[in-house]
Structure 1
Amino acid sequence: MEMINLVNVTKKYGEFTALKNVNLTVNKGEVYGFIGPNGAGKTTSIRILLGILNATEGQATILGKDARKEAVEIHKRLAYVPGDVNLWPNLTGGEVIDLFTKLRGGDNKSHREALIERFNLDPTKKCRTYSKGNRQKVALIAAFASDADLYILDEPTSGLDPLMERVFQECVKEVKDKGKSVLLSSHILSEVEKLCDKVSIIRQGEIIETGTLDELRHLTRTHVFVKTRKAIEGINALKGIHDLSEEKGGLVFQVDSEEMGNVIKHISQFEILKLESAPPALEDLFIRHYEGEKGVK
């Protein structure tokens, strides 16, 4: 079952095109990573899904319903956490959590209390006294305390310390185990890599790559360290070799995954003493797509 479906969604602001023909499908029980730098179009896409913005062209549906026209019905089954949470300053964190859970029709007090303890939140303090990280905790607790079918999380760990990020990751895995679906928008690649079944990379309003992590890794480079008895000759001439350098008495380089067999065959004739290879990370693919842009070399 398709929980989210964006079909050729385009969003224009006058002459500026914020989104161009975005296609994205999240299935039931799937954790879907939506990655790109700030300003790439992630939040605009999410606002269209939430019914806050209307797409200039294309169709956006959630749970089979029109995201704009049937937003009220959709939101009964959806939990949303933005990247910058604003709360009522004179309410306590506990009161806000209670308000959100009651609006959604759930009232599982034991689950809510367990989440408050896990996220180490003091629910008796007024929201105006909370740091950014504590405001995020309130929104996350309210979301995970609900029995939603779909969780849309837009940079949800912004302001959280590493320990709380781990708690967040555990919560995502728990809702997935219950058959729920999650759209996780993030620029924290390690977070996406740990949690997501499938990933779409968005760049300047366009989806430039989509697939499972394994599918995307085929397009990235593997990191290799090799030490041989004889000096390796001719490696510079091999196809698919990148960033070659000497280190610890051996050679360090990156190799395109599809060329790995040829590279190993070549270096094996020089009597391999030590060979280490690290699977490519999502970050490698991300950086390759953004090479040449400002701030990325």
Structure 2
Amino acid sequence: MAVLKVENLTKKFGKFTALDKVNLEVQKGEVYGFIGPNGAGKTTTIRVLLGILKATEGKATILGKDAWRDAVEIHKQIAYVPGDVNLWSNLTGGEVIDLFVKLRGTNNKSRREELIKRFDLDPKKKCRTYSKGNRQKVALIAAFASDADLYILDEPTSGLDPLMERIFQECVMEAKLAGKSIFLSSHILSEVEKLCDKVSIIRQGNIIETGTLDQLRHLTRTSVLIRTKQPITALKELKGVHNIEEKPQGLSFQVDTEELSNIIKYVSQFEIVKLESAPPTLEDLFMRHYKGVGGAL
């Protein structure tokens, strides 16, 4: 049974369709990336999953329960971290963490202390004195200190410095190894690439691509930099070659991954002196889908 399942989920606000027949499925022990630019529908999807918004059509279930009807029961088994955390200004960070952990019925003090140390948080300070990054740390510590079955993380590293981002990534991998499921919404592609087993790309309320990173890489292009003894002729006429550019260090171009073998065979007859290739990234795929689409990335 899938830990999280969304079937033909549609959400309308008046005449505006924020989500249009969205389908997602997260399995036990899986880190699932949900990516797209701001305004694509990521947060709306998460609000439906949390039972904050009611779907116009379709169905969303978490751990076999209906996301809207059984929201109270579901919340006992999940941990949620938003991208912009608001805390009680008069409580200390430690008090807020304790409150959230107790609400979930767990009381693992050693885990709490370990996470406070790893995230380098001063738990004695009042929340009103915290920077955005420190507020984010409080929410992350509270989430990872609880024994949740599913972590729903919406832009969770917003405001964290690179060192703390690495700590966050370690916590996600530890949760995965413990058999927990993580649903990670992000527009930081490097983060998704490091952590996720599977990815869905959402654009204007529609899921436009879903698959493992390896499956998605077949749809992207490999960057090649080559220098040969003889000038390469007719390269631009070959199938799968794009963006040819002369550079001081050699000839630069992109190749559709499925054509790479044929292209290398062809250029080898010109006596290769230097050859560099960079594997396609999630960013390449992302940019390919969003090229020519308005809105901030």
The verdict on a shared fold, with TM-score over 0.5 as the criterion, is yes
Correspondence for 1:198: 198
Correspondence for 2:26: 26
Correspondence for 1:117: 117
Correspondence for 1:175: 175
Return the alpha-carbon distance in structure 2 between the equivalents of residues 4 and 53 of structure 1.
17
RMSD: 1.1
Q: Which amino acid aligns with 1:132?
A: K
Correspondence for 2:36: 36
Q: Which amino acid aligns with 2:169?
A: Q
Return the alpha-carbon distance in structure 2 between the equivalents of residues 121 and 274 of structure 1.
49
Correspondence for 1:290: 290
Question: Alpha-carbon deviation of 1:249?
Answer: 3.9
SS at match of 2:74: helix
Question: Alpha-carbon deviation of 1:295?
Answer: 6.2
Return the alpha-carbon distance in structure 1 between the equivalents of residues 189 and 249 of structure 2.
32
Return the alpha-carbon distance in structure 2 between the equivalents of residues 33 and 248 of structure 1.
38
Q: How far does the alpha carbon of each residue in 1:155-176 deviate from its partner, in whole angstroms, 9 at most, with x for none?
A: 0000000000000000000000
Provide the TM-score with structure 1 as the length reference: 0.98
Return the alpha-carbon distance in structure 1 between the equivalents of residues 133 and 121 of structure 2.
10
Correspondence for 1:82: 82
Return the alpha-carbon distance in structure 2 between the equivalents of residues 164 and 291 of structure 1.
32
Contact persistence 1:287–1:296 (CA under 8 A): no
Return the alpha-carbon distance in structure 2 between the equivalents of residues 120 and 247 of structure 1.
45
Provide the TM-score with structure 2 as the length reference: 0.98
Question: Alpha-carbon deviation of 1:248?
Answer: 3.3
247-256 or 173-182, larger mean C-alpha shift: 247-256
5+ residue gaps in structure 2?
none
SS at match of 1:101: helix
Correspondence for 2:60: 60
Question: Alpha-carbon deviation of 1:296?
Answer: 7.8
Return the alpha-carbon distance in structure 1 between the equivalents of residues 176 and 128 of structure 2.
33
SS at match of 1:227: strand
Question: Alpha-carbon deviation of 1:189?
Answer: 0.1
Q: How far does the alpha carbon of each residue in 1:23-80 deviate from its partner, in whole angstroms, 9 at most, with x for none?
A: 0000000000000011000000000000000000000000010001111111111000
Q: How far does the alpha carbon of each residue in 1:120-167 deviate from its partner, in whole angstroms, 9 at most, with x for none?
A: 100001111111100000000000000100000000000000000000
Compared with structure 1, are the counterparts of its residues 130 and 156 closer, same or farther at alpha carbon in structure 2 (3 Å cutoff)?
same
Q: Which amino acid aligns with 1:107?
A: N
Correspondence for 1:272: 272
Contact persistence 1:290–1:296 (CA under 8 A): no
Q: Which amino acid aligns with 1:240?
A: G
Return the alpha-carbon distance in structure 1 between the equivalents of residues 71 and 295 of structure 2.
38
Q: Which amino acid aligns with 1:47?
A: R
Q: Which amino acid aligns with 1:41?
A: G
Return the alpha-carbon distance in structure 2 between the equivalents of residues 295 and 16 of structure 1.
17
Correspondence for 1:229: 229
Percent identity (aligned): 75
The answer to whether the aligner puts 1:148 opposite 2:148 as a matched pair is: yes
Correspondence for 1:187: 187
Q: How far does the alpha carbon of each residue in 1:76-126 deviate from its partner, in whole angstroms, 9 at most, with x for none?
A: 110000001000010000000000000000000011001001001000011
Return the alpha-carbon distance in structure 1 between the equivalents of residues 248 and 193 of structure 2.
29
Off by >2 Å, runs of 4+ in structure 1: 294-297
Residues 154-173 of structure 1 correspond to what in structure 2 (within 5 A)?
154-173=154-173
Return the alpha-carbon distance in structure 2 between the equivalents of residues 117 and 243 of structure 1.
48
Return the alpha-carbon distance in structure 2 between the equivalents of residues 262 and 247 of structure 1.
23
SS at match of 2:226: strand
5+ residue gaps in structure 1?
none
Return the alpha-carbon distance in structure 1 between the equivalents of residues 87 and 150 of structure 2.
22
Residues 199-278 of structure 1 correspond to what in structure 2 (within 5 A)?
199-278=199-278
Q: Which amino acid aligns with 1:97?
A: I
